[in-house]
Structure 1
Amino acid sequence: MPLSVVDLYRDVLPRTNCKDCGFPTCLAFASMVVSEKLPLKNCPHIDPETAARCQKELDAQHAAGKWTRRDMAEDALQWAREKAASMALTDLPERIGGRLHGDGPDRELHLPYFSEFIRIGAGGIRKENGEPLNRWEQVFVYNHMAQGGRTNPTGNWKAFQEIPNTVSKVKSMRAHVEAPLAERFGGKAETLGRAAMRLGGRDLTNESRAADAVWRFTPLPRVPVMLLFWDRADEFDAKVTLLFDETVTDHLDIESILFLSERLTQLLCEDGTG
């Protein structure tokens, strides 16, 4: 029969909280064994026969997905891929941009992506060099394929919190996008500029004068993103705000807007040197 966290703690583990397994309590260790597939033998105080017998049961319930922690990225990718499965590749250039290359099963859509392009076809979504995009990138691209309409950007910009239905995600935007960018580039506006240029960003600082630095990115042809950066000065910390064209929800759902913003942050922070 399946072994729950309580079963392991009550009937199998010594309940001494000795910490020899590397965890503070036997209950914490039991939780990791059940939900994260940690080997039961990592407890040095269970006799080998009992450990082997229980491990067989644990392996079976892990294989069945019982009580294991879900792989959220894989679940999101599977859902997004299924949504996009009915989209005809030949319809995508008119809807989301890009150009078709090749014929038959080898046909691909080459879609501009930041300063490069990605290849979308029967084999999935890949970079120019053939490597797959990471799973969260694939999620927002598949969602864009499924949702993206023919609406072109209007040039009217909105902060994330001004977009409907983003209340529950505003904290995530601040914590995972705006705060890391402000921390990384505070006092380093030139470094931000170099990183932005390598991502194909367009410097609009002199045109808008809305902030100390203003960069416009085009992650996807019909999904521009504006980055406003105020550098730290005196008692004020650096600040970053992302703006989105008012048509963004015609092309991406709220989760995908956040995923895209997080990827922009990662690319800038990874590329920003000095």
Structure 2
Amino acid sequence: MSKLDNPLEVYKLLPKSNCRQCQVPTCMAFAAAVIKGQKRLDDCPHLKSDIIERCDVQTHKRETIEQQQEQLIEQLKKEIAKVDFSLSAERLGASLVGGKLKIKCLGRDFIVDAKGNVTSDCHVNPWITLPLLNYVLSSAGKNVSGTWVPFRELTNGMTWRPLYEQRCEKPLKQIADQHTDLFQDILVIFGGKPADNNSFASDISLVLYPLPKIPMLICYCKPEDDLESTLNVFFDATAEDNLNIESIYLLGAGLVVMFQKITFRHGHQALIAL
């Protein structure tokens, strides 16, 4: 029996006529759909039964982002079991309660047990679970330096910069532009505090703590005369000592998703009121 594990091998069997009788635009697209498990070989009316019978298709179903995140979380949970919480609490800026770690995230208490399960009074999402577990496992416990740098100036920031700007800073700016007062209120609700220094002159300049030793400084300037609005997010220079760059990106992307949901609900309620 012939094993087919890539689209080209399937394509070689097809008539290459792009007849569309399989409801797919081209034979190559059909071949790709077969490998993904979206189509079967016998969906092609031109393939003889003996060819179909002697072929074993190895499908490669594409996992969703959510499935990938859940797999990563399960891997991290197994590693959490090796961590001594009593020795780690101080390193993490956390406290030990009943043998579990209590960690402040955006002003809320999140509890991590010895099996890596994360619970909180508020909704627990993968965007906070993944960075939180990584933080417990890998944080060096470096104290915050007070030196703010943009994402791109973190050690590995340039690698993730395009994705970070597209998924974090740009949509965050859009939220601030469209819902400026609400944006500031959201930051305050989630523990935003004024920066200790005045080096960033902005209409909104607040520090958030998604994790105890991973502060974020969000600065927003409203549009004025011919000048466009600006939004910048800064991290403490020690950020990558306490969390890997992918998790730092994930924190930013998670904030955007959360803020978008809040502003959507707020706008929906306003429409109902009208």
TM-score (norm 2): 0.79
Percent identical: 23
Residue among 236, 240, 243 paired with 2:231: 240
Aligned residues: 260
> Which is worse superposed, 18-27 or 176-185?
18-27
CA spacing shift, 1:39–1:149, aligned 2, 3 Å = same
Q: Is the 8 A contact 1:204 1:214 kept in 2?
A: yes
**Could you tell me how far 1:120 is from its partner in structure 2?**
1.1
Paired with 2:122 and 2:221, the residues of 1 have a C-alpha distance of 37
Residue among 247, 252, 270 paired with 2:243: 252
Residue among 112, 115, 125 paired with 1:120: 112
Partner of 1:109: 101
TM-score (norm 1): 0.79
Paired with 2:16 and 2:90, the residues of 1 have a C-alpha distance of 63
Aligned amino acid, residue 93 of structure 1 = A
Residue among 83, 86, 107 paired with 2:82: 86
Q: Matched residue of 1:186: which SS? A: helix
Partner of 1:40: 40
Q: Matched residue of 1:119: which SS? A: strand
Q: Is the 8 A contact 2:7 2:28 kept in 1?
A: yes
Partner of 1:28: 29
CA spacing shift, 1:208–1:167, aligned 2, 3 Å = closer
Partner of 2:272: none
Q: Matched residue of 2:144: which SS? A: coil
**Could you tell me how far 1:229 is from its partner in structure 2?**
1.2
Partner of 2:262: 271
Paired with 1:238 and 1:20, the residues of 2 have a C-alpha distance of 53
> Which is worse superposed, 247-256 or 40-49?
40-49
Q: Is the 8 A contact 2:206 2:217 kept in 1?
A: yes
CA spacing shift, 1:95–1:51, aligned 2, 3 Å = farther
Q: Is the 8 A contact 1:225 1:244 kept in 2?
A: yes
Q: Matched residue of 2:12: which SS? A: helix
CA spacing shift, 1:205–1:39, aligned 2, 3 Å = farther
CA spacing shift, 1:206–1:250, aligned 2, 3 Å = closer
Paired with 1:23 and 1:234, the residues of 2 have a C-alpha distance of 53
Partner of 1:212: 203
Partner of 2:222: 231
Paired with 2:122 and 2:162, the residues of 1 have a C-alpha distance of 35
1:157 to 2:153 alignment = no
Q: Which runs of 5+ in 2 are unaligned?
A: 268-274
1:142 to 2:141 alignment = no
Q: Which runs of 5+ in 1 are unaligned?
A: none
Paired with 1:132 and 1:267, the residues of 2 have a C-alpha distance of 11
> Which is worse superposed, 213-222 or 75-84?
75-84
Partner of 2:18: 17
Matches within 5 A, 1:43-82: 43=43, 45=45, 53=53, 57-58=56-57, 61-62=58-59, 67=60, 69=62, 72-73=68-69, 76-77=72-73, 80-81=76-77
CA spacing shift, 1:24–1:47, aligned 2, 3 Å = closer
CA spacing shift, 1:234–1:131, aligned 2, 3 Å = closer
Partner of 1:184: 175
Partner of 1:6: 8
Q: Is the 8 A contact 1:140 1:256 kept in 2?
A: yes
Q: Matched residue of 2:96: which SS? A: strand
